[in-house]
Amino acid sequence: MLALEDLEVYYGEIHALKRVSLEVRDREIVALLGNNGAGKTTTLKTVSGLLAPRRGRVSFEGRPLTGVAPHEIVARGIAHVPEGRRIFNRLTVRENLLMGAYLRADGGIAADLERVFALFPRLHERLTQVAGTLSGGEQQMLAIGRALMARPKVLLLDEPSMGLAPVLVEQIFETIAEVNRQGTTILLVEQNAAMALSIANRGYVLETGSVVLSGTAAALGENSEVRRAYLGE
Amino acid sequence: MDLQLLVTIFPQVLLDGILLGFMYALIALGYTMVYGVLEFINFAHSEIFIVGAFVGVEILLGLKSAGLLEAIPWLPVLLLVLVAGMAASGLLAVSIERIAYRPLRHAPRLIPLISAIGVSFFLQDAIRLFESIWRNAFNLVYPTLDVLNRRYDLTSTIDIPLKSVVVIAAALLMLWALWALVNRTKIGTAIRAVAEDQAAASLMGINVNRIISLTFLIGGAMGGAAGVLFGVQYSLVNPYTGFIPGLKAFTAAVLGGIGNIPGAMVGGLVLGLLEAFAASYLSLLTGGAFGAEYKDIFAFSVLILILIFRPKGLLGEVVRERA
Ligand SMILES: Nc1ncnc2c1ncn2[C@@H]1O[C@H](COP(=O)(O)OP(=O)(O)O)[C@@H](O)[C@H]1O
Ligand SMILES: [Mg+2]
């Protein structure tokens, strides 16, 4: 469904991605693991069009995404929950959610708001509140809810557990699994490898810009290198 | 000190201050909206403003020489002039952004600013050249519509010309329309989203460049409306007339909290009132030691004081991020 082939991405002189190839199939949850600075965020930004690869291709449903503007990539059905949430602090919760549905002209927006409130009841309680005043966990819920308002086929999540208390982390991951059961394909970037592998079908491990390992979530969870480097054993 | 006189002229001074304040507010919107989305000071906005005034005077002079000015009722004439001035200034602002700023979007901050200063000088002399060829003069006078000079008595000592009522009503209407657009519509929400985080806005499917163009269009149109109203109210325009009101409107935007739309409105009114009261009262209150010519010194001293205590402006940034 979503395929990255031999991506080479640079920040000026810095070679951030080296021949990165990976694939996400329909209705999967794919985990992208790796330490700080490995290139996970860079990978997601390249998919959503915020960065342009110097070489290589991204394609979605058989059509190329490379060179397509971010706002058009959203229209194709890919929503990106960026690192650090990036909600609109000065907009209300409701306005943030409606911005998520910016491109939609169908009548399903109200129903999708209800769906987001079912996943995150807290957002419903805070609907008219300015988003900058939400707690960290609520902001993450809003960032995910906002992306879902686009009714994406694929959801890109960049470290949804970052900076959250353990209880909240568990709750967010349960919700991600639920969103996937409802039919959304997910590419999940995480440093919390244990959590990510617990809900993923497959995974890839990035190290300094290259994919060094890949396999089913179960196989990666049993791999001795993964256990040592990412699962703290 | 003549207390009686102070009281007698108060309503007149208040009216002058409000008029001037609305003028500044309308111009300040252009600075503040553009700053809000690009963190960039559109130095050419004072000329975008004065182009509105020139389009207005050209249409009025054209109608006059065709003998139509007194034949058509004043309200449609004024609406026509206002809409034409807004369209011209709005489109001019959009073109300037497209030609002189967008290619420099990723250049160091000083570069687009210098480009803007260049555009500003270019436009001043382009207007001068055009008017010199076309009319053989570049100091133009707004043709008066007699009805607009009709005065209405509010009390036995205060009267108000119809044109001032019209200027205030038009300014209020436009400020309200802009407020409603920005706060009550989807496209307005998108403008605020782009102002806050362009990359995140693009991830919502918002075409950021289109929103930036729209911001220049709206800010420019408000400036053009201010230009026409300025001409109607104060009559004289020349290619360099925009500069000082532009600078003051920019100050008003900073005073209100640059990037903040209600702030520009408040800042404009505060500055207009300060200036009007300083012009009329300084001399009276100091027994003639400081005359009206000190009005700017007084007004700007107050501004500096306000900014020392509220560096982000009167309505700057209230939301604080929580981790
Ligand atoms: N804006 C940037 N400018 C320069 N280098 C960057 C930038 N963003 C990331 N990098 C570098 O690219 C590499 C990959 O970063 P990133 O994709 O953010 O890693 P991750 O998300 O896995 O922590 C790192 O070496 C980082 O320092
Ligand atoms: Mg990252």
Looking at the structure, do residues A170 and A223 belong to the same domain, yes or no?
A: yes
Which pLDDT score is estimated for A184? 97
For residue A186, give the CATH number of its domain. Answer: 3.40.50.300
Looking at the structure, do residues A141 and A106 belong to the same domain, yes or no?
A: yes
Looking at the structure, do residues A166 and A226 belong to the same domain, yes or no?
A: yes
Q: Compute how many other C-beta atoms are within 10 angstroms of the C-beta atom of residue B180.
A: 11
Q: Hey, are the CB atoms on B192 and A90 less than 8 Å from each other? A: yes
Looking at the structure, do residues A59 and A93 belong to the same domain, yes or no?
A: no
Residue A88 has pLDDT above 50, yes or no: yes
For A133-152, give the DSSP string. GS-HHHHHHHHHHHHHTT--
Q: Is the CB of A14 under 6 A from ligand 1?
A: yes
Which pLDDT score is estimated for B1? 58
Closest CA of chain A from B207, distance in Å = 6
Q: How far apart are CA A160 and CA A51, in angstroms?
A: 21
Q: Residue B127 in contact with residue B239, Cβ under 8 Å?
A: yes
A and B: number of Cβ contacts within 8 A: 82
Q: Which of A151, A180, A202 corresponds to the end of one domain?
A: A151
Which pLDDT score is estimated for B323? 36
Which pLDDT score is estimated for B137? 93
Task: Note the Cα A95 to chain centre separation in Å.
Answer: 21
Which pLDDT score is estimated for A233? 67
Q: Residue B249 in contact with residue B31, Cβ under 8 Å?
A: yes
- Chain segment A49-64, per-residue pLDDT in tens: 999 999 999 999 999 9
Q: How far apart are CA A163 and CA A148, in angstroms?
A: 21
What's the half-sphere exposure (Cβ side, CA atoms, 13 Å) at A6? 2
Whether residue B321 lies inside any domain: the answer is no
Looking at the structure, do residues A123 and A57 belong to the same domain, yes or no?
A: no
Select from A4, A13, A14 the residue to mutate for testing ligand 1; criterion: most ligand atoms less than 8 Å from CB: A14
Q: How far apart are CA B8 and CA A95, in angstroms?
A: 49
- Chain segment A118-135, per-residue pLDDT in tens: 999 999 999 999 999 999
Whether residue B323 lies inside any domain: the answer is no
Among A70, A95, A136, beta carbon nearest to B203? A70
ipTM attached to this prediction: 0.95
Whether residue A82 lies inside any domain: the answer is no
Chain A's closest residue to B199, CA to CA, is A50
Q: Which residues 6+ apart lie within 8 Å of B266 measured at CB? A: B256, B314, B315
Which pLDDT score is estimated for B322? 38
Query: SS3 sequence, A38-77?
Result: CCHHHHHHHHCCCCCCCEEEEEECCEECCCCCHHHHHHHC
Q: Which residues 6+ apart lie within 8 Å of A8 measured at CB? A: A15, A17, A18, A19, A53, A54, A55, A56
Looking at the structure, do residues A181 and A196 belong to the same domain, yes or no?
A: yes
Q: Domain tally for chain B?
A: 1
For A4, the 3-state DSSP assignment is strand
Q: Is the CB of A205 under 6 A from ligand 1?
A: no
Q: How far apart are CA B96 and CA A213, in angstroms?
A: 51
Looking at the structure, do residues A123 and A187 belong to the same domain, yes or no?
A: no
Whether residue B319 lies inside any domain: the answer is no
Whether residue B295 lies inside any domain: the answer is yes
The whole domain housing A58 covers 2-77+152-230
Closest CA of chain A from B193, distance in Å = 6
Residue A214 has pLDDT above 90, yes or no: yes
Whether residue B85 lies inside any domain: the answer is yes
Which pLDDT score is estimated for B317? 65
Q: Is the CB of A187 under 6 A from ligand 1?
A: no
Q: Say if B320 is an interface residue toward chain A (CB within 8 Å).
A: yes
Whether residue B318 lies inside any domain: the answer is no
For residue B144, give the CATH number of its domain. Answer: 1.10.3470
Whether residue B260 lies inside any domain: the answer is yes
Looking at the structure, do residues A45 and A96 belong to the same domain, yes or no?
A: no
The whole domain housing B243 covers 3-309
Which pLDDT score is estimated for B69? 87
Looking at the structure, do residues A73 and A92 belong to the same domain, yes or no?
A: no
Calculate the dihedral angle through the C-alpha atoms of B11, B13, B16, B20, rounding to the nearest 10 degrees: -130
Pairing of strands A210-216, A202-207: antiparallel
Whether residue B96 lies inside any domain: the answer is yes
Residue A229 has pLDDT above 90, yes or no: no
Q: Say if B189 is an interface residue toward chain A (CB within 8 Å).
A: yes
How confident is the prediction along chain B (323 residues), in pLDDT tens digits per residue?
578 888 888 888 999 999 999 999 999 999 999 999 999 999 999 999 999 999 999 999 999 999 888 888 889 999 999 999 999 999 999 999 999 999 999 999 899 999 999 999 999 999 999 999 999 999 999 998 778 888 888 777 778 888 889 889 998 999 999 999 999 999 999 999 999 999 999 999 999 999 999 999 999 999 999 999 999 999 999 999 999 999 999 999 999 999 888 899 999 999 999 999 988 888 888 877 888 888 888 878 887 888 898 888 888 764 443 33
Cα end-to-end span (Å), chain B: 57
Looking at the structure, do residues A11 and A100 belong to the same domain, yes or no?
A: no
Angle among Cα A172, A176, A179 to the nearest 5 degrees reads: 135
Q: Domain tally for chain A?
A: 2
